[in-house]
């Protein structure tokens, strides 16, 4: 009998998670199924508990339910507590719901897989929403020299930076700062676009001096063609990477949490790239 997993979202029909986890399961010889479930916006908790009652073992959680996933958890990982949201739920043998977030780990692993050095780097993250909050802890754990958050609403960026100030973290003494776009001063070694602007073909107002001479531009979004942000960065000499690998890497971490087996992500990433 196969163990049952799913991804919850609303909408969720576009999700590539079922395809990714089917490839992982085949590669690792795991007896499991994985489906997409569109939960009602007003009752995510009910959808999760119904799934568990029907034999569900674990789930991924995507928009708009990442904070609701946080609230249904009985046990939160440290990185989930820091993020204030989760993307992975586990139905434990003790009947409790365990929750984690793997987005930040996925981002860092994808950057490392592309040979990007984060230790000692000057990092800029664009945006101050939930997607950005969820990746800051793993980025800071990689030991950058500095991390700056820029957002259209400067107050949100400054507040988020204060939440991750190293004096509170007791980890790397990375300088964490925030500002509006109008106060940006480069250059940065790594610029990560965590805004949703790419979905609408828009570009945040960025200065020409943003990127270092050998800088890397990373968009957490992905598409068959380069996003507007990546086109802008490429025209200014940056090396560009989209978020497809992050999607696969965060899924691999969820798969590991469920199955205690770590899949090889490279062939899965290559398969998805061909299918775009």
Catalytic residue IDs: 66
Residue 15, classified by CB atoms within 10 Å of its CB into exposed (0-12), middle (13-18) or buried (19+), is: buried
Sole residue written with tokens 């509170």: 168
* 69/59 Cα distance (integer angstroms): 10
* Helix or strand holding residue 192 (H, E): strand 188-193
Upper half-sphere CA count for residue 245 (Cβ side, 13 Å): 19
Phi, psi of 94 (to 5 degrees): -85, 5
Is 154 annotated as belonging to a binding site? Answer: yes
With vertex at residue 17, the alpha carbon angle to CA 110 and CA 132, rounded to the nearest 5 degrees, is: 50
Sole residue written with tokens 């586990």: 90
Is 178 annotated as belonging to a binding site? Answer: no
Is 222 annotated as belonging to a binding site? Answer: yes
Query: What are the start-end ranges of the H helices in 148-227?
Result: 154-163, 166-169
Is 155 annotated as belonging to a binding site? Answer: yes
Is 15 annotated as belonging to a binding site? Answer: yes
Is 85 annotated as belonging to a binding site? Answer: no
Q: Taking a C-beta distance cutoff of 8 angstroms, is the pair 74, 87 a contact?
A: no
Residue 6 CB neighbours (<10 A): 26
Is 95 annotated as belonging to a binding site? Answer: no
Dihedral angle sign, alpha carbons of residues 216, 222, 224, 226 = negative
* 161/168 Cα distance (integer angstroms): 11
Is 151 annotated as belonging to a binding site? Answer: yes
Is 197 annotated as belonging to a binding site? Answer: no
Is 152 annotated as belonging to a binding site? Answer: yes
Is 70 annotated as belonging to a binding site? Answer: no
Is 250 annotated as belonging to a binding site? Answer: yes
Is 220 annotated as belonging to a binding site? Answer: yes
- Per the annotation, where are the binding residues? 15-17, 62, 87, 103, 127-131, 151-156, 220, 222, 243, 250
**Bind-site residues for shikimate:** 15-17, 62, 87, 103, 222, 250
- Which residues contribute to the annotated binding site for NADP(+)? 127-131, 151-156, 220, 243
């Amino acid at each position: 009998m196969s163990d049952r997993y799913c991804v919850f979202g609303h909408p969720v029909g576009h999700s590539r998670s079922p395809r990714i986890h089917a490839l992982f399961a085949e590669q690792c010889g795991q007896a499991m199924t994985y489906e997409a479930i569109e939960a009602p916006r007003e009752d995510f908790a009910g959808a999760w508990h119904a799934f568990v009652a029907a034999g569900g073992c674990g789930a991924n959680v995507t928009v708009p339910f990442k904070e609701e996933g946080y609230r249904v958890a009985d046990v939160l990982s440290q990185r989930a507590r820091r993020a204030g949201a989760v993307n992975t739920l586990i139905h434990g043998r003790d009947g409790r719901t365990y929750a984690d977030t793997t987005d930040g780990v996925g981002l860092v692993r994808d950057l490392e897989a592309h040979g990007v050095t984060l230790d000692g780097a000057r990092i800029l993250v664009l945006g101050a929403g939930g997607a950005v909050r969820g990746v800051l802890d793993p980025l800071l754990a990689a030991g950058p020299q500095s991390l700056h958050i820029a957002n259209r609403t400067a107050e949100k960026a400054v507040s988020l930076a204060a939440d991750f100030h190293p004096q509170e973290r007791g980890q790397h003494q990375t300088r964490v700062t925030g500002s509006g776009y109008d106060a940006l001063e480069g250059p940065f070694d790594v610029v990560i676009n965590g805004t949703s602007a790419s979905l609408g073909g828009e570009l945040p107002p960025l200065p020409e001096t943003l990127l270092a001479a050998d800088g890397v531009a990373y968009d957490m979004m992905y598409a068959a063609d380069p996003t507007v942000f990546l086109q802008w960065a490429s025209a200014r000499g940056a090396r560009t990477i989209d978020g497809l690998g992050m999607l696969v890497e965060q899924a691999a971490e969820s798969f590991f949490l469920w199955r205690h087996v770590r899949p090889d992500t490279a062939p899965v990433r290559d398969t998805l790239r061909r299918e775009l």
